[in-house]
Amino acid sequence: MASSTAATMLKASPVKSDWVKGQSLLLRQPSSVSAIRSHVAPSSLTVRAASAYADELVKTAKTIASPGHGIMAMDESNATCGKRLASIGLENTEANRQAYRTLLVSAPGLGQYISGAILFEETLYQSTTDGKKMVDVLVEQNIVPGIKVDKGLVPLVGSNDESWCQGLDGLASRTAAYYEQGARFAKWRTVVSIPNGPSALAVKEAAWGLARYAAISQDSGLVPIVEPEILLDGEHGIDRTYEVAEKVWAEVFFYLAQNNVMFEGILLKPSMVTPGAEATDKATPEQFLSGGQSELEATLNLNAMNQAPNPWHVSFSYARALQNTCLKTWGGREENVKAAQDVLLARAKANSLAQLGKYTGEGESEEAKEGMFVKGYTY
């Protein structure tokens, strides 16, 4: 984490109310780095570029982390995408999933604000309704294609009703194939639950899994998004979230170093440090800096994080926070495609401005203010 290009930050950055507004804990380094060093001697933190793709990895990370840009996450599993479609009265068929994803990737001018798109495996190999490869449409928009590579959460035996993320078996061959198909970055989502502990076992499992995935992805030429998500579920306050987040991130970077992951070639995607979704004591954007937040909340929080200079690019990786109103506007109707794409572009532009610290919130719709938290959310 010593390099100014290392550990590109997407989606979140914690700020306690007594800290300088916009300054992030993890990127500030002292707390998290000292926590890592309590585990290992400084000499063992030397990280080498083990991948033959080292230069390309750094270039990809910098491209995704370009000013005024962020990531559109459209990697929901087919089952979860089906829930989205059901909300607008559509069946969960491949044709309907194809139509919706075509709408997203082909929105004219999307590349002005979006630099990367995370795809589900079906989408990576899928063509648009016009017969073009989804990957090619993204590249034409100067958007880097990415791919979700984990196999989902399953119960962690021996824990306090917690989960672990599966998918390491066969990952090397899959990431190599994804690279050949045009993907240039990867995503692996694991979660930590505050109401359930979190147990030391769950934290270690999450950190080790992320580290192994990151090393394997880099070896195949894919920039890994390292995503230790602290779930929103719970009644805890922001200080408890902050405490758990610091512990989890320290553990993650400890194992990343042990696995010789090149920090300059990763994207760090921690969840925002906020009070639990069911907490009575809420916080303002100036106190904390997405899943489950309204579109407006997510944008305001991102903007607050960028009101002061950050040592790394602090941006967004949003799914529902970009697509919620877009999906409703579309409603599965061909005649609504342009209107839905206009809504998507408006949300993307708002978050682009927020990444630059220039978002004002003027002219936002009521739909953008609707919360999207789902208790026990999985996808």
Reply yes or no on whether 16 is catalytic: no
d(CA 346, CA 205): 39
229: helix, strand or coil: strand
Which entry of 251, 264, 269, 295 is annotated as an active-site residue? 269
Opening angle at CA 289, ends 286 and 359, nearest 5: 75
Q: Is residue 269 flagged as an active site residue?
A: yes
CA 236 vs CA 55, 118, 243, 356, 374: distances in Å: 42, 31, 11, 31, 17
Residues in contact with 175: Cβ distance below 8 Å, sequence separation at least 6, in sequence order: 149, 186, 216, 217, 219, 220, 221, 222
Strand partners, 230: 192
Tell me the backbone φ, ψ of residue 224, rounded to 5 degrees: -85, 130
The most distant pair of C-alpha atoms in the chain lies apart, rounded to whole Å, by 62
The C-alpha angle with vertex 268 and arms to 354 and 235, in degrees rounded to 5, equals: 75
Residues in the chain: 379
H helical segments located in the chain: 25-28, 30-37, 54-64, 78-86, 94-105, 121-124, 134-140, 171-181, 200-219, 238-258, 295-305, 320-330, 337-355
- Burial class for 377, CB neighbours closer than 10 Å (0-12, 13-18, 19+): middle
From 121, 205, 227, 264, the catalytic residue? 227
Cα end-to-end distance, the chain, whole Å: 31
With vertex at residue 251, the alpha carbon angle to CA 250 and CA 255, rounded to the nearest 5 degrees, is 115
Nearest to 126 by CA among 115, 116, 138: 138
Question: What residues are labeled active site?
Answer: 227, 269
